[in-house]
Structure 1
């Protein structure tokens, strides 16, 4: 097994153990159960620390910032085409490029998140048109992550505004499929961007899920 495959395998183990531990802590009925599930959580933190080299406390904070039954996180991305090019924003966090978007906000529908993030990150007002894809992040070549994430891609049409950077971005522009900038792989991969261009070529293509 290649090192990257082994890393992904152990990362999956760590996330699964953490999910079991969090569910157990949510429904524990006595101190004995709580102690055992806390031990499971500590094991998951240790596994991830060995894989990443990060400080154990940082990993523990990632794993314990939510309570209740653990479910996948949801990342929403707006797919905006214009003149056969796709809209990308230059992220300050890693100095790479991605489609506008981010974690789904409580109180907002996925379509509302796509509209809000495009306005905040790129300065454009858009109208959601249709769902293009719902992807499980683990099935795509993203860097290892402590979270199990579903990614939602929503096609949007520009109805106003003008290109301008936001608080979390340092640039914005449209790019054709053959001249993409360095992508933020935590947020979107080249294979995903190229796949989304298929909807520009074939507007009737059915929504995809995995």
Structure 2
């Protein structure tokens, strides 16, 4: 068999499940996948749409990572073409199996170049007089620990300081890394297509004059029971995160928790 041909035996059987697909699709040389448009597109869409909903995002993310990394490292023009087709197939799957907006699709499909790695979300838990600072999101009216995406050119600690100043108007200094979670391994709402690491810092306040920012409607201090009683933004922080951060704040010593 030449590099530019393949036979029916190379096509994964739908009923064998996802593991057989990976055995066929990942370990067959990509230059043999000449009919991705007509064969893999139909079979993979049928197979994936029959999977439980909670598995779809992970499957699609893996497909996109293979396609994105493959396009970066492949030197052969045929490999480049096949990986591009695989990326287009990923877009088809997302459109069929999610309610992602066109902007979200573009962010997921086009934001990374090279080897695909998880995105990083940084949260800054600041305690003043043993109360936790939460901000109210203008967009949803829900409450969250200040934070956001890790921007280029900043360390994780600098992001914690920057986001708190932008969202609550005060200057803080991170003193502990309380936890690093893999978002997909926890029950956060509205799981994104990308894999995300969530970093939770405990911070001390260097100024205390709270005022909301452009994206926040309020910035307030809460006891643990008060914080748990708020309408939390569950895609940003869970009740378990609030409890863990109060534990970290009260502890004389703390070992960073991670998945």
Q: Same fold (TM over 0.5)?
A: yes
Q: How does 1:52-131 map to 2 (within 5 A)?
A: 52-55=98-101, 58-131=104-177
Query: Secondary structure, in 3 states, of the residue corresponding to 2:83?
Result: helix
Please say if residues 45 and 56 of structure 1, whose CA atoms lie closer than 8 Å, have aligned partners that are also in contact. no
Match of 1:196 in 2: 245
Q: Tell me, in whole angstroms, the C-alpha distance in 2 between the residues paired with 1:34 and 1:182.
A: 47
Question: Greater CA deviation, 147-156 or 198-207?
Answer: 198-207
Match of 2:224 in 1: 177
Larger strand percent: 1
Q: Tell me, in whole angstroms, the C-alpha distance in 1 between the residues paired with 2:159 and 2:172.
A: 11
Distance 1:106 1:43, change over 3 A: same
Query: Secondary structure, in 3 states, of the residue corresponding to 1:178?
Result: helix
Counterpart pick for 2:63 among 14, 17, 25: 17
Residue 55 of structure 1 deviates from its aligned partner by 4.9
Larger helix percent: 2
Match of 1:146 in 2: 193
Q: Tell me, in whole angstroms, the C-alpha distance in 2 between the residues paired with 1:186 and 1:197.
A: 19
Q: Tell me, in whole angstroms, the C-alpha distance in 2 between the residues paired with 1:55 and 1:163.
A: 34
Question: Greater CA deviation, 164-173 or 60-69?
Answer: 60-69
What is the root-mean-square deviation of aligned Cα atoms in Å?
Answer: 1.8
Q: Tell me, in whole angstroms, the C-alpha distance in 2 between the residues paired with 1:55 and 1:111.
A: 31
Query: Secondary structure, in 3 states, of the residue corresponding to 2:224?
Result: coil
Q: Tell me, in whole angstroms, the C-alpha distance in 2 between the residues paired with 1:208 and 1:61.
A: 30
Which one has a bigger Cα radius of gyration?
2
Q: Tell me, in whole angstroms, the C-alpha distance in 1 between the residues paired with 2:182 and 2:132.
A: 22
Q: Which runs of 5+ in 1 are unaligned?
A: none
* Matched residues, number: 206
Q: Which runs of 5+ in 2 are unaligned?
A: 1-50
Normalising by structure 2, we get a TM-score of 0.74
Please say if residues 202 and 249 of structure 2, whose CA atoms lie closer than 8 Å, have aligned partners that are also in contact. no
